[in-house]
Amino acid sequence: MSDNSSKKRQRVLSGVQPSGNLTIGNYLGALKQWAREQQHFESFFCVVDLHAITVPHDPQELRDKTREVAALYLACGIDPEVSTVFVQSHVRAHSELTWLLNCITPLGWLQRMTQYKDKSAKQQQDSVSTGLLDYPVLMAADILLYHADAVPVGDDQRQHLELTRDIAQRFNHLFGETLTIPEAMIPLSGARIKALDDPLSKMSKSETGSEYHALYLLDPPNRVKKKLMRAVTDSGRDIQFSDDPERAGVNNLLELYAALTEQEHTTVEAHFANARGYGDLKKELVEVTNEVLAGIQQKYQALTAEEGYIDELLARGAERACEVADATLATVRERMGFLKAHA
């Protein structure tokens, strides 16, 4: 037997919040690499519904979005025969491990998180929930329950991953080697897609102020065209990647083009070397975006046409996820000194 075949496959876990319409940023930063890597890892992909209630939410919308996001995982190429797809709240161990980890996580670590500072600043101080502050501990529980070696995410989750590592290290230090220390897996291209209407901020599914902010995976072709043709650029003409904040708009369009067509930056720049201006880039980007989205949308329609299919698949996923998560939780409980319920 070769070395490789005797080694256990490494584990991957990741998730998306069912808290809005999935964007092209979610696809390029996360889902696309999940689909690409799923053959190489033992993969767990959850719809993180418990995270979605850390800000005010509507129950019916949560139900609908949870199914929609699960269907979009599949439409983006996740194969449920290869990967485990499940809903976070179906596996109770996530909530319980969060409590246990809360008790070893210093408050200061959570108060320093940029996402918490940004999101809480957008709400009235007295309506910010304790859940919003605790959000990263729940995320750490998601990852640590599965002993994930790698966590494929976009660049904005880097800090949460660092915190997860810190929590795991602290646990291991206090109670003995138990939890696997995970690595962030961030794609080279598409990890930081910016808003079309404000290319200095992140494209976000929860930002609903302007209809020109984000490209959604379920946008029809004419809407994609409208949004991209209106995307903010500058008064220049050079179609080149750039770190200059003044040129962030064009840089973002080029980043989208490179990630969607899976081409190197130099190849993309060479392709547009003789273009007449930003209009040419936008027109080509409309075409490649609509081509990618058409594939996703066709699969999505087929999957959701089959009554009950997604729910069935999620029930199977939860069963498999529970096996792994419950075993980790049992070890954690034992290490922390909890008595077993039954002799």
- Using CB under 6 A, list all residues that contact ligand TYM: 13-17, 25-26, 28-30, 48, 51, 139, 142-143, 151, 153-154, 156-157, 160, 191-193, 202-203
Q: How far is the CB of 259 from ligand TYM (least distance, A)?
A: 9
119 is catalytic: yes
* Distance from C-alpha of 343 to C-alpha of 339, rounded to nearest angstrom: 9
- Annotated active-site residue in 32, 194, 205, 282: 205
- Find all residues with CB under 8 Å of 117, minimum gap 6, and list them: none
* Distance from C-alpha of 95 to C-alpha of 253, rounded to nearest angstrom: 40
227 is catalytic: no
Q: How far is the CB of 140 from ligand TYM (least distance, A)?
A: 8
Closer residue to ligand TYM in complex, CB, 158/320: 158
- Annotated active-site residue in 32, 202, 225, 282: 202
Closer residue to ligand TYM in complex, CB, 42/142: 142
* Distance from C-alpha of 251 to C-alpha of 259, rounded to nearest angstrom: 12
Closer residue to ligand TYM in complex, CB, 162/338: 162
* Distance from C-alpha of 332 to C-alpha of 336, rounded to nearest angstrom: 6
Q: What letter represents residue 289's amino acid? A: T
Vertex 297: Cα angle to 292 and 303 (nearest 5): 135
Closer residue to ligand TYM in complex, CB, 25/199: 25
* Distance from C-alpha of 49 to C-alpha of 66, rounded to nearest angstrom: 7
Q: How far is the CB of 43 from ligand TYM (least distance, A)?
A: 12
- Find all residues with CB under 8 Å of 89, minimum gap 6, and list them: 49, 50, 95
117 is catalytic: no
- The residue with its CB nearest to ligand TYM is 29
Q: Catalytic residues, which ones?
A: 119, 202, 205
